Structure 1
């Protein structure tokens, strides 16, 4: 929690110089356990072929909606996210085989495509609007591995990564990472409308 000023207590410092804790928040769609497990198997296959690929051992499979750094205020962030998605309905997410996202000439990310991205794009827009931030364009996806050396990914047979599945997205997850932490921890799950 951020430091609060007690009006009955004198401070040695001006209020605007009292330090606050800055933390990282992320809002994601978390798939069910069977999909998380399957993506982990695919991730490990890539590491078997390319051990130097960036290892995301602290991240479970997810679809990113938003990441930002803010003063620590869990109550406010939860309220903003709840209000942003209050009228948005649950929807099905359809995973549609692999794709490669190129990062210049040096590295690539191996991801799962989403064949019905529009509901995710709407969630993304609503969240950015609630936080009063300019909405960047996104291509919704689920990362298998990222920052794989470009020339090495080309040498792998990618057919085993053509994974197709679907799940009902009924909630989104707010994650939080405090300074010095290696991973995000679950803060709160926000239910979507059951319309």
Structure 2
């Protein structure tokens, strides 16, 4: 009789542990889904437009709570074709973005950008000349591999004039986590600190 009660107690404990494990698993998955939906997302790099900063097949973490984008940030946004897209913020609302000055540099509010730390080796800051004032609440975006990037410059003739609204921003790319050999945290280039 005592053996039967003991066996029943063990069986009951096993069932309780199994239920607890399933419950914890469901809660864990729920938390992970909430984090991905509202806090941190993962983004896959499909094109060469951000080389060499980001290569095809790289993967980045995106902070969806990073706040308002700043000049120099790498952001993921709903692109001109409605797909998730990744580019660098060159100008924010009120900025005057232009290319090129006498030394072939992009300027923001008259300040030339030193883009050597992120621009694709051997690429020019822009093959196109342009001069625009970024409307409030909008962004001027460019890829780091300028000759291979369909960015704001490519969409100036479309509705919206090539600008992307801040509310189309999904988040700020904060870290490349794949491949592991190229893992790194993204830091805003110092050249943007000089822009007034």
Q: Into which bin does the TM-score normalised by the smaller protein fall?
A: under 0.3
Radius of gyration: which is bigger? 2
TM-score by length of 2: 0.26
TM-score by length of 1: 0.26
RCO (CA 8 Å, sep 6+): is it higher in 1 or 2? Answer: 1
